Amino acid sequence: MFCVLRHLGIVIGVRIVLHIGPMKTGTEALSSRLLSEPLPEALILPSGTAWPQSRSDVVKHPQLELLGTRRGALIERRLEKIVADARRRDEPEVTILLIAEALNVAQFPEYIIKRLGQMADKLEIVFFARAQSAALLSYVAHRVQSWTSPTYIRPEYAGILRGTRKRFYYDVYASRWSGDDHTLTILPYFEDDRSTDGLMNRFARHTGIAVPVANKANRANASLGKKQLVRLGELKHRLRWVRSIPVLTKLAAWFYFSVLRRIQNEPQGSRWVLTTGERREIVERYRESNARFKKLLGSESRRDFWKRWFSELEAPPRK
């Protein structure tokens, strides 16, 4: 029977792996690595005409957040075409990897889970958990660099505290995206993963999706020093009046990105780090959430990498 189906170009199984981030936990690095080599026939990372992208070096699918809303019908039709393409491939199982790093706060997670589960034979949802003190610092640094975040103009602790209101509550993510009809895979992110490649190895091991070896061309989101962030923030602030004039908006953006690229090519300066007191305050703000998260992990929390993750929440940062 399988030989007949394979001869007709129909696969036995389509698996959707939905990566819901969150931001600043290696999602861009993952897609950049996957794009660095031709994708195998058994893996689809929707891009091009199937899913137009704003960048050529990374792939994301933020429009998945529209599922369950009036504007979501177009996205559902797009997904149905991708699944149909997967079923025509001459492979026993094809995996479709969707990356939507802000989907952890989507309005209708139940509907998204239901529709993706209906389209595919298997659904697996993945997210990475990074210590909140590091994730928030990285998030604010990213916002300072981002032209689309005009209110973030300084790498300062106040911006981090704003982020604690709704971001990186892993117990909430786990509760919203768990269920009996699909698999939820949660993987820890460590600050030394960039040098050890530990995160990509864990992702590959748990999902079965091979991640190509890193090279200089696909290292996304290079870190900047604090003084470099300050310079970019000051530039954004000086350009605020220019961007408010419609005919000058594109020119202002072009100038900003030209400066950004030049600064990114500079040697990295001293990094922005939290003081001991600031880090302790963040740990306290998330203490109850992380306790609930550990409980939700159940027996998984006793695995060595989770023991390390929870112990490092309290430990002083490595210098």
- pLDDT tens string 199-243: 999 999 999 999 999 876 555 556 799 999 999 999 999 999 998
- Domains, the chain, in order of start with CATH, read 2-223+271-314 (3.40.50.300)
Which parts of the chain sit beneath pLDDT 70?
Answer: 1-12, 216-222, 315-319
Strand order in the sheet with 43-44: 43-44, 93-99, 13-19, 122-130, 183-189
Give the integer Cα–Cα distance in Å for 103 and 84. Answer: 24
Evaluated on CA atoms 303, 304, 309, 313, the torsion sign reads positive
Query: What's residue 151's pLDDT?
Result: 86
Q: Is the pTM of this model over 0.85?
A: yes
Q: Are 282 and 160 in contact (CB under 8 A)?
A: yes
The maximal CA–CA distance of the chain, rounded, in angstroms, is 68
Give the integer Cα–Cα distance in Å for 288 and 291. Answer: 5
- pLDDT tens string 245-264: 999 999 999 999 999 999 99
Query: What's residue 159's pLDDT?
Result: 84
64 Cβ contact list (under 8 Å, min separation 6): 18, 75, 98, 100, 103, 106, 112
Q: Give the three-state DSSP class for 46.
A: coil
Residue 77 buriedness (CB in 10 A; 0-12 / 13-18 / 19+): exposed
Query: What's residue 56's pLDDT?
Result: 83
Query: What's residue 65's pLDDT?
Result: 94
Give the integer Cα–Cα distance in Å for 154 and 105. Answer: 25
Give the integer Cα–Cα distance in Å for 239 and 43. Answer: 43
Query: What's residue 218's pLDDT?
Result: 52
Query: What's residue 103's pLDDT?
Result: 86
Query: What's residue 220's pLDDT?
Result: 52
Query: What's residue 317's pLDDT?
Result: 56
Give the integer Cα–Cα distance in Å for 25 and 127. Answer: 9
Query: What's residue 214's pLDDT?
Result: 81
Query: What's residue 2's pLDDT?
Result: 42
Q: Give the three-state DSSP class for 146.
A: coil
